[in-house]
Amino acid sequence: MIEKATFDDEVLERVADDFEAPHTIAADLARDLGREVTEYDVLQALLALATSGQVQVFVYETAKQDFVPVDVSEVVSCETLWFKAKK
């Protein structure tokens, strides 16, 4: 079993250069790690990374046609979350 810190590092790497959502990377992580990875696993890692300040949470606003940052405390009221690493 992969350690949580190592899994979080793998997830962080996936959001380093582009906006990603848990569903966009779970299957790739499962393939690369050789084990089952659920969207929930990825979401939990992304939220932990957001809480630690390494990742920003976004929602996509169609009216603005852009990703808009949201605070990690607001995620329960958001439908589809996107994430990107802070530089």
Per the structure, how many domains does the chain have? 1
pLDDT above 80 (res 50): yes
Give the contacts of 70 (CB within 8 A, at least 6 positions apart). Answer: 57, 58, 59, 78, 81
**pTM score, two decimals?**
0.89
Q: What is the pLDDT of residue 2?
A: 62
Report the candidate in 63, 83, 64, 62 with the shortest Cα–Cα distance to residue 72: 83
Q: Which domain range does residue 70 map to?
A: 4-85
The CATH number of whichever domain residue 33 belongs to comes to 1.10.10
Q: What is the pLDDT of residue 78?
A: 86
Range among 4-13, 41-50, 74-83 rated most confident: 41-50
Give the contacts of 21 (CB within 8 A, at least 6 positions apart). Answer: 80, 81, 82, 83
Dist CA 54 CA 48 (whole Å) = 9
